[in-house]
Structure 1
Amino acid sequence: MTASGSDTIFSKPRYRTVASPQPARRRLVVAQDAACAVPLLDHPLSQLLSLGGELAADLPHERFANPAALYLRLQLLLERAEVGTRLYVVGDEAFLWHVYRLARHAGLLGDEIELFKNGARRRLYCVHCGTFQEIGEEGEAGCSGCGVRLLVREHFSQRLGAYMGVCLDPSRPYGEGRP
């Protein structure tokens, strides 16, 4: 992935702003909003899966009512994908990294997947209780699992697809409602 800014933290993800010129036998584009994927559909062998959004042109695409249905369809397509298939994913970080993990599990290499961030939602992992939750761009959050007030670290785990949350106040390591 290419840098979209000059970040100094090695683990922080860097997202593409334009599709790479890598040749592809087939392009599979997965988007939260179909309208955001239009620049990626210039390849004649592109197929678009989306959760919503309107396309100005009469471009064919599959629209899904919920993420679970989209993920299932994507999994089926990836299991049958030929060598030379490239995956382009457009959405917020929570969406991007869920699709990324599905694709890697199906056998795509990291170099065959391009991520385009669009949106502020991201995933947070509490290092104290192991709970995942979705947050916005805020730097602090309360853990929905253990109640600990968390500092959102800039460290991002690609394996977990989440930012790390650590205890913000060491004098209250057990959360708000705990002794």
Structure 2
Amino acid sequence: MTAQSTDIMFSKPRYATEVVAHPASRRLLVAQDASSAAPLLALPAPKLLLSLGGELPDGIEQECLPNPEALYLRLQLLLEQAQAGTRLYVVGDETFLWHVHRLARQAGLLGDEIELFKQGERRRLYCVHCATFQDIAEVGETCCSGCGLKLLVREHFSARLGAYMGVCLDPDRPFGEVRA
């Protein structure tokens, strides 16, 4: 075993741990819960916070949306109208982060204009056998909600899919049946 074997897998996402105030014409903050965006408030203005719940002190321009779909639609509209120099800061679990990341990239933001701050344990899993996505906790194995296979959750993360890869746990007994 080499010293490199203990390193984080190259495809596993790395998240921002501190806020860096890069130059920006506008800052969009997106959070699953507004209170988790508090560290981002130190960023220089102008900024707007979109969240799914929670509130911050008065004086912060914020919109609390009723559900994820409404938040995604509002963000998409803002990104389509965004000027050059807009930066996006996202706080939430991995499922939320990568959905917002995909929307931002489709709207034309560059990867360097998006900062992701992970909070929470929920993450997205992609079954390589039936192409089903499902949300899971930080587990090493699970059953696919699409095909029912027992899956090993690989540490390989696909940024394109925004998900970890799930592969058959035991190819000799894919459904866990007992052999005769």
What TM-score does the superposition give when structure 2 sets the normalisation length?
0.91
Greater radius of gyration (CA): 2
SS of residue paired to 2:91:
strand
Q: Does 1:27 align with 2:27?
A: yes
Q: Distance in 1 between matches of 2:80 and 2:110?
A: 13
Distance in 2 of aligned mates of 1:37 and 1:8: 26
Which amino acid is the alignment partner of residue 150 of structure 2? R
2:3 counterpart residue number: none
- Tell me if 1:110 matches 2:111: yes
Distance (whole Å) between structure 1 residues aligned to residue 161 and residue 135 of structure 2 = 13
Q: Segments of 4+ in structure 1 off by > 3 A?
A: none
Alpha-carbon distance between aligned partners in 1 of 2:111 and 2:65, rounded to the nearest angstrom: 25
The residue aligned with 1:159 is 160
Match of 2:81 in 1: 80
In the alignment, which residue of structure 2 is the partner of 1:3?
A: none
Equivalenced residue count is 172
Indicate the RMSD between aligned Cα atoms, in angstroms: 1.6
Q: Does the 8 Å CA contact 2:48/2:62 hold for their aligned counterparts?
A: yes
Matched AA of 2:79? L
Distance 2:144 2:24 in 1: 42
Deviations 1:117-167 (CA, angstroms, capped at 9, x unpaired): 000000000001000000000111100000000000000000000000000
Match of 1:8 in 2: 8
| 1:111 shift after superposition | 0.2
Taking the aligned partners of 1:123 and 1:52, their CA distance within structure 2 comes to: 21
Counterpart-to-counterpart distance in 1, 2:59 and 2:91: 20
Unaligned runs of 5+ in 1: 1-5
The offset of 1:57, in angstroms, is 4.7
> What TM-score does the superposition give when structure 1 sets the normalisation length?
0.91
CA distance in 1, matches of 2:8, 2:62: 38
Q: Is the 8 A contact 1:51 1:64 kept in 2?
A: yes
Offset, 1:46: 1.0
- The within-5 A match list for 1:92-171 is 92-171=93-172
- Distance (whole Å) between structure 1 residues aligned to residue 53 and residue 153 of structure 2: 30
